[in-house]
Amino acid sequence: MNIKPSREWSLYLLLAAPLVALLCVFALGVKRERDAAEAVNASLTTLTKDGHPVGNHSLTEWFDSHTTQQTSSPWDDILVATDGLHIRFSDVLPLGEEPRLEPNQAWADAEIMQRYAEQARPIIEAIERVPTHPKPVWQPVVFEGFQTTYPGLDGMRSINRLLMREFRVAVDQQDPARAIRALQLMLKVADAYDWQIGILSDLIYFAVVEEHRAQIRDSLAVGFWKTEESLSQLRDQVNREQDLHERWDTAAAAERAFLLAEFGITSDGPNYFLQESEIDFFPFGLTDMAGELLMERYQRWEDAETIKAFEPWPPQAGAFRHEDGEDIWMFNILAIPVSNAGIFLDKFFGNPSSAAAGFYRFELNRRWTLTAIAIKQFQKRYERFPNELSELSDVGLTESDWMVNSQESFGYEVGKGGKVAYLWSVDYERATGPNGEPVVAMERPVASDHRNEKIEKWMTEIR
DSSP bridge partners of 185: none
225 pLDDT more than 90: yes
Nearest to 440 by CA among 423, 429, 427: 427
Which pLDDT does position 151 carry in this prediction?
82
Given a contact cutoff of 8 angstroms between Cβ atoms, the answer to whether 219 and 179 are in contact is yes
pLDDT band at residue 308, thresholds of 50, 70 and 90? very low
Peptide bond into 337 cis (omega under 30): yes
DSSP string, 140-164: ----BTBT---HHHHHHHHHHHHHH
59 pLDDT more than 50: yes
Torsion of CA 29, 34, 40, 42, to 10 degrees: -150
312 or 140, which is more confident: 140
Q: How far is CA 6 from CA 1, 12, 15, 17, 88, in A?
A: 11, 10, 14, 16, 95
DSSP bridge partners of 462: 421
> Residue 348 gets which letter from DSSP?
G
4 or 176, which is more confident: 176
Given a contact cutoff of 8 angstroms between Cβ atoms, the answer to whether 458 and 426 are in contact is yes
Give kind and range of the element (H or E) at residue 172. helix 151-172
DSSP bridge partners of 459: 424
Which pLDDT does position 265 carry in this prediction?
67
Q: What is the mean pLDDT of residues 330-354?
A: 56
430 or 160, which is more confident: 160
pTM for this prediction: 0.84
Q: What is the mean pLDDT of residues 106-121?
A: 83
233 pLDDT more than 80: yes
Which pLDDT does position 80 carry in this prediction?
94
For 386-417, write each residue's pLDDT tens digit: 999 999 999 999 998 998 876 788 999 999 88
Averaged pLDDT of the chain: 79
DSSP bridge partners of 146: 144
33 pLDDT more than 50: yes
CA angle at residue 210 from 355 to 59, to 5 degrees?
Answer: 50
338 pLDDT more than 60: no
459 pLDDT more than 60: yes
Which pLDDT does position 152 carry in this prediction?
83
Nearest to 118 by CA among 88, 156, 157, 150: 88
Distance in Å from the first CA to the final CA of the chain: 110
Given a contact cutoff of 8 angstroms between Cβ atoms, the answer to whether 97 and 453 are in contact is no
Q: What percent of the chain shows pLDDT beyond 70?
A: 72
pLDDT band at residue 326, thresholds of 50, 70 and 90? very low
Alpha carbon distance 110, 462 (integer Å): 23
Which pLDDT does position 107 carry in this prediction?
65
Q: How many CB atoms lie within 10 A of CB 39?
A: 16
Q: What is the mean pLDDT of residues 44-66?
A: 87
Which pLDDT does position 332 carry in this prediction?
52
Can you say whether the dihedral through the CA atoms of 271, 54, 350, 324 is positive or negative?
negative
Which pLDDT does position 44 carry in this prediction?
83
pLDDT band at residue 190, thresholds of 50, 70 and 90? very high
